[in-house]
Structure 1
Amino acid sequence: MTSRIEQILARIDALHDELEAAIAERRAQFRYRLERNSVRFEAEAKRRHRALRVRLGTFLARANPWHVATAPLIYSLIFPFALLDLFVSVYQAVCFRAYGIPRVKRRDHIRIDRQHLAYLNALQKLNCVYCGYCNGLLSYVTEIASRTEAFWCPIKHAARVAQPHRRYPEFMDYGDAEGFDSGLARSREAVTRDDA
């Protein structure tokens, strides 16, 4: 990897740290804190949240008919998502052990906590649980896939990739035939010792 790429990756890491610091500042503004992965709101914030909740009947009366009509299609995706979760989890349990790759922790990706917000009604809470699971699952699957790709085929694509995973910048350049064997060995070593 070139020093220019290393510099860019260091700047990206610094920006991630800056983003986390900004989010932490917002926690104080919205009067909550995290205690061992549990959210704790101040009493006044909880009271204000409950006062702002839109009752389910009012929420449904105001709903866009297209949103209501498409809801069954959205929720039907739970079946392929659950199947994906099952298959990818089994794949990781078997294959990562065989490859010596550290396993991805589901809890680092799937966050289901928005249903505790007092300003959401029951349907909004259900929607938030669904979205938290599905988007977290995709993050979990992406991390498993990125570790697999780093182990088997750590080569950049010829064309630009819109949102590459975090390992992608370290992959070998497309067309680097001379560096393939050594690059593959480096990538495998890195991904098998990577526990992040």
Structure 2
Amino acid sequence: MEDLLARMRELQDELEDEIADKRAAFQYKLENGRIVWEEEARRRHRALRVRWLRFLAYTRPMVLITAPFIYALIVPFVLLDLFVLVYQAACFPVYGIPKVPRRDFIRMDRHHLAYLNGVQKLNCIYCGYCNGVIAWVREVASRTEAYWCPIKHAARVAGAHARYAEFSEFGDGEGFEAGLARSRRKVQEKDGPDEADGG
């Protein structure tokens, strides 16, 4: 399992290198967390933008009718964000678990794309926030699970988090206490692989 996890980290590094190559190809770079476009790319993007009235005119009516259902979810997402923020602030210091920085998961930068109109930019901000909250909450939850109950389930779990592979086997009563202590030590490491990977 250690070899597989190491390989997963290597693949993540390769993916980051590939993303860096794409930045150069699409004529932008990141400077101190800010996106800086080359002027030629910015000009091309503006020419590609579909104005929002035309965009809405070509949108299927059922898509417009369902939009309020999508955007209504902002309420539970904001509440989840706030509750987990308070939970982490109150509990993680007590458990000795490093806090998960929200900024590493919640990215709202696609509104800087000049080829998107205002409606598309709003959609991208919404999706960036909601998916970022889910990813951040998942990391908080995975650290919590690794601290309190690092035991695999009897049946396969779809989309398990990265820590799950290191959990104790289901039914391994003799190895439970040692596995729990090992998992707690690992999740409490401030500069462990999870911290370096951003999650």
| 1:11 positional shift | 1.2
Give the equivalent residue in structure 2 for 1:90.
86
Matched, 1:161 2:140: no
Mapped to 1, the partners of 2:56 and 2:4 lie a distance apart of 48
Mapped to 2, the partners of 1:19 and 1:158 lie a distance apart of 32
Query: How many positions carry a matched residue from both structures?
Result: 192
Equivalent of 2:174 in 157, 175, 178? 178
Equivalent of 1:133 in 129, 134, 138? 129
Equivalent of 2:55 in 56, 59, 73? 59
Q: Percent identity between the aligned chains?
A: 63
Question: What TM-score results when the alignment is normalised by the length of structure 2?
Answer: 0.95
**For 1:139-154, what aligned pairs fall within 5 Å after superposition?**
139-154=135-150
| 1:90 positional shift | 0.4
- Gaps of at least 5 residues in structure 2 are none
Mapped to 2, the partners of 1:112 and 1:160 lie a distance apart of 33
Q: Deviations over 1:136-189 (max 9, x none)?
A: 000000000000000000011111111111111111111111000011011111
Matched, 1:123 2:119: yes
Q: Which moved more, 1:69-78 or 1:18-27?
A: 18-27
Q: Kindly provide the amino acid, as one letter, of the partner of residue 88 in structure 1.
A: V
Aligned-pair Cα RMSD in Å: 0.8
- Gaps of at least 5 residues in structure 1 are none
| 1:194 positional shift | 3.9
Q: Kindly provide the amino acid, as one letter, of the partner of residue 121 in structure 1.
A: N
Mapped to 1, the partners of 2:190 and 2:61 lie a distance apart of 48
Q: Deviations over 1:28-61 (max 9, x none)?
A: 1111111111111100000000000000111001
Mapped to 1, the partners of 2:37 and 2:162 lie a distance apart of 33
**For 1:32-111, what aligned pairs fall within 5 Å after superposition?**
32-111=28-107
Q: Which moved more, 1:102-111 or 1:21-30?
A: 21-30
